[in-house]
Amino acid sequence: MMSPGWNWFVIIVTLANILGCWWLIIWAAKKRPGESEEGEVTGHVWDEDIEEYNNPMPRWWLMLFHLTIVFGLVYIVLYPGLGNYKGVLNWTQVGQYDDEAKAIREAQLKRFAELGNLSPAELVKNEQVLLTGSRLFAANCSTCHGSDAGGAVGYPSLNDSEWQYGGDYDTILQSISNGRTGVMPGWQAALQDDGVKEVTEFIVQLSGQTADAGLAAKGETRYNLFCVACHGADGSGNPALGAPDLSNDIWLYGGSREAITQSIATGRMGKMPAQKNLLTEEQMKLIAAYVTSLSN
């Protein structure tokens, strides 16, 4: 709301402009005493022989000016344009936006509700579901997991067969809805430099890369002491804890000696934010179906 002073200022300036234009058109079109007739020379001469004719604008053209003024007046009666006056249509930008957003939202919810009623087995096969799911994924997940769901360092790939927590529809839906926090404590204090080095060498060996056998053997002893509880005797991980498989060449944080050393020494704590307050149940189901379909 404008203060009364500004309100009147805007009203007066706006109306004065419109009416001023109108006056100008009428004034300019008036025939004056002594003026030459239409189509005749006015008597002005330039450069010795260039003469000016009195050729007024065509009537219809002039009418257009009048029409724009009528349009302007009608417009400020219908729409807000005069200070605090709201216009007889009561139109607002926010109102229009809200109406359109509401219509889209309703159409979406209806569509989601139809699709969301399908069983997981049907969802994962339904073309329409996967298409909608892929769009929702692009809008909500691709910033972290990549537009092809291929992931990045610290952000797991969702299009391969390796899962921290599990790759079936229900588990994926859980991951999305409640989020996940992988907790891997740092081992620098417990293992010291040598210990970290040895156990790193063992993980390097476990994942099928060439490693120093002597160091790896010492590392294995430490592994069995400190790591087995979460990563398993064979290093294949534990989905209940989100502990990744260490025995293959798929890595969340990288499989180089440097990356593995850092994972072990300082620990890791990847966080997947819960989506249940951001997305509807149906939206999460559609995305879960899409993600499930990627690795199958």
Q: Among residues 124, 130, 134, 156, which is the contact residue for ligand HEC, using CB under 6 A?
A: 156
Instruction: Kindly state the smallest distance separating residue 107's Cβ from ligand HEC, in Å.
Output: 21
Fill in the per-residue mask, 205 to 244: x = in contact with ligand HEC (CB under 6 A), - = not in contact.
------------------x--xx-xxx---------xxxx
**Identity of the residue, 26 or 269, whose beta carbon is nearer to ligand HEC in the bound complex:** 269
Q: Among residues 172, 206, 216, 265, which is the contact residue for ligand HEC, using CB under 6 A?
A: 172
Fill in the per-residue mask, 173 to 202: x = in contact with ligand HEC (CB under 6 A), - = not in contact.
--xx---xxxxx--x-----------x---
- Please tell me the distance from the alpha carbon of residue 20 to that of residue 109, in angstroms, as a whole number: 52
Burial class of residue 17 (count of CB atoms within 10 Å of its CB; 0-12, 13-18, 19+)? exposed
CB atoms closer than 10 angstroms to residue 29? 12
Fill in the per-residue mask, 241 to 260: x = in contact with ligand HEC (CB under 6 A), - = not in contact.
xxxx-x----xxx------x
**Identity of the residue, 15 or 160, whose beta carbon is nearer to ligand HEC in the bound complex:** 160
Residue 163 interacting with ligand HEC (CB under 6 A): yes
Residue 25 corresponds to which amino acid? I
Q: Segment near ligand HEC (CB under 6 A), from 15-23, 25-33, 89-97, 157-165? A: 157-165
Residue 233 corresponds to which amino acid? A
Q: Among residues 271, 276, 281, 296, which is the contact residue for ligand HEC, using CB under 6 A?
A: 271
Q: Which residues contact 55 (CB under 8 A, 6 or more apart)?
A: 38, 39
**Identity of the residue, 36 or 171, whose beta carbon is nearer to ligand HEC in the bound complex:** 171
- Please tell me the distance from the alpha carbon of residue 87 to that of residue 47, in angstroms, as a whole number: 55
Residue 155 interacting with ligand HEC (CB under 6 A): yes
- Please tell me the distance from the alpha carbon of residue 231 to that of residue 223, in angstroms, as a whole number: 9
Contact indicator for 264, 197 with CB cutoff of 8 Å: no
Burial class of residue 234 (count of CB atoms within 10 Å of its CB; 0-12, 13-18, 19+)? exposed
The dihedrals phi and psi of 274, each to the nearest 5 degrees, come to -60, 140
**Identity of the residue, 38 or 148, whose beta carbon is nearer to ligand HEC in the bound complex:** 148
Q: Among residues 143, 161, 224, 256, which is the contact residue for ligand HEC, using CB under 6 A?
A: 143
**Identity of the residue, 263 or 293, whose beta carbon is nearer to ligand HEC in the bound complex:** 263
- Please tell me the distance from the alpha carbon of residue 206 to that of residue 233, in angstroms, as a whole number: 11
> Which residue from 63, 86, 82 is spatially nearest to 18, judged by alpha carbons?
82
User: Which residue in the block uniquely carries the two structure tokens 């969340």?
Assistant: 252
Applying CB under 6 A, which residues contact ligand HEC?
Answer: 140-141, 143-145, 154-156, 158, 163-166, 172, 175-176, 180-184, 187, 199, 203, 223, 226-227, 229-231, 241-244, 246, 251-253, 260, 263-264, 268-273, 275, 287, 291
